Amino acid sequence: MRPTPTSRALILGARSQIAQALAHQFAAKGVALVLAARQSEQLAPIAADLRLRYDVDVDLLEFDALDLDSHVALADRVRQEAGPWELAICVVGSLPDQQLARQDGHIAQQVLATNFTSVCVCLGHLANDLEARREGGLICVSSVSGDRGRQSNYIYGAAKGGLSVFLQGLRNRLAPAGVHVLTVKPGFVDTPMTQGLEGLFLVASPEAVAADVLIAWRKGRNVLYTPWFWRWILLIIRLIPESIFKRLSL
Ligand SMILES: NC(=O)c1ccc[n+]([C@@H]2O[C@H](COP(=O)([O-])OP(=O)(O)OC[C@H]3O[C@@H](n4cnc5c(N)ncnc54)[C@H](OP(=O)(O)O)[C@@H]3O)[C@@H](O)[C@H]2O)c1
């Protein structure tokens, strides 16, 4: 199913470098943008640059994913403050030190709330709006980390795994209404989130990931592993029997 054309896209978590690379990709195709983030006023220079380069409308919207009550009115707020929209792109996420999260339940709770609960609640409300209008779609950045739990990051991985299942269900629910859902599963990406982490390999640029997302969206793909080879790496990882996997140091 190819998605309906997009005139305006809402980007949630717009300060992320992956989000900004996506903003360039979509603006270059003439899509107006709403950049939603905490302290969104700091994105004013980025919005100005996008307007100048691509001659599209770019609005800023204050958005805190953890403020669950605010999500009910989000779809209407975007319409009132910017105009009609058809696509929401969620890039919100956080990756605190897993060792700290193992010791401190509040940090673990924050990882789960930011990567899973808040995103599900927010996308759920946006989905209701799109389903009623029978147009548009959702793109959400999950992670390959959600495909199998590993000792080094299973708390973040559990949140992303749950998110991927949520998106799968949402896709199933929204398909009859012609609303498309794309799940994006990047491998390692060169952003502030991964700075200083050890053991990174095959690290992609945010620009390469964003280019893959645009192509996948236009082709109506359901799940995107980006770069492409992560699909096959994760296939192998998922096939390792649990009796062997539990002894590996991953
Ligand atoms: N980098 C990787 O290797 C990698 C791999 C797989 C998946 N991902 C996923 O890709 C997405 C983007 O990550 P990134 O690498 O670009 O890292 P990032 O720069 O840390 O981006 C995460 C974004 O989420 C936003 N965010 C966090 N909590 C929020 C909240 N309560 N309300 C609103 N926004 C909130 C952050 O906003 P602030 O700027 O306000 O903190 C930040 O802009 C994330 O979902 C991440 O899990 C990344």
Q: What's the rounded Cα separation, in Å, for the pair 245 and 250?
A: 9
184 lies in a domain?
A: yes
**Ligand 1, pocket-test mutation among 17, 18, 60, most atoms within 8 A of CB:** 18
Mind listing the pLDDT tens digit for each residue in 185-240? 999 999 999 988 888 889 999 999 999 999 999 999 999 999 999 999 999 999 99
CA of 11 from ligand 1 middle (Å) equals: 12
Q: Residue whose CA is closest, atom 47 of ligand 1? A: 93
The DSSP-derived string for 106-167 is HHHHHHHIIIIIHHHHHHHHHHHHHHHHT--EEEEE--GGGSS--TTTHHHHHHHHHHHHHH
Q: Residue whose CA is closest, atom 42 of ligand 1? A: 16
Q: Give the pLDDT score at 2.
A: 79
CA of 91 from ligand 1 middle (Å) equals: 6
Q: Give the pLDDT score at 151.
A: 95
- Residues spanned by the domain of 18: 8-245
146 lies in a domain?
A: yes
pLDDT-derived band of residue 9, with 50, 70 and 90 as boundaries?
Answer: very high
CA of 166 from ligand 1 middle (Å) equals: 18
Distance of alpha carbon 235 from its chain centroid, rounded? Answer: 21
Closest atom of ligand 1 to CA, residue 186? 6
Q: What's the rounded Cα separation, in Å, for the pair 180 and 172?
A: 9
Average pLDDT, the chain: 97
Q: What's the rounded Cα separation, in Å, for the pair 122 and 131?
A: 14
Query: Measuring from each residue's beta carbon to the nearest atom of ligand 1, which residues come in under 6 Å?
Result: 13, 15-18, 37-38, 63-66, 91-94, 114, 141, 143, 186, 188-189, 191-194
**Ligand 1, pocket-test mutation among 92, 143, 164, most atoms within 8 A of CB:** 92
Q: For residue 168, what is the domain's CATH number?
A: 3.40.50.720
32 lies in a domain?
A: yes
Closest CA to 120 of 69, 182, 163: 163
**CB atoms < 10 A from the CB of 154, how many?**
17
2 lies in a domain?
A: no
Q: Under 8 Å CB-to-CB from 250, ≥6 apart: which residues?
A: 150, 151, 152
Q: Residue whose CA is closest, atom 46 of ligand 1? A: 93
Mind listing the pLDDT tens digit for each residue in 114-133? 999 999 999 999 999 999 99
Domain count, the chain: 1
Q: In the predicted model, is pLDDT for residue 51 greater than 90?
A: yes
163 lies in a domain?
A: yes
The DSSP-derived string for 177-217 is GT-EEEEEEE--B-SGGGTT-SS--SPBPHHHHHHHHHHHH
180 lies in a domain?
A: yes
250 lies in a domain?
A: no
- Residue 156 is among the residues annotated as catalytic for this protein: yes
CA of 139 from ligand 1 middle (Å) equals: 14
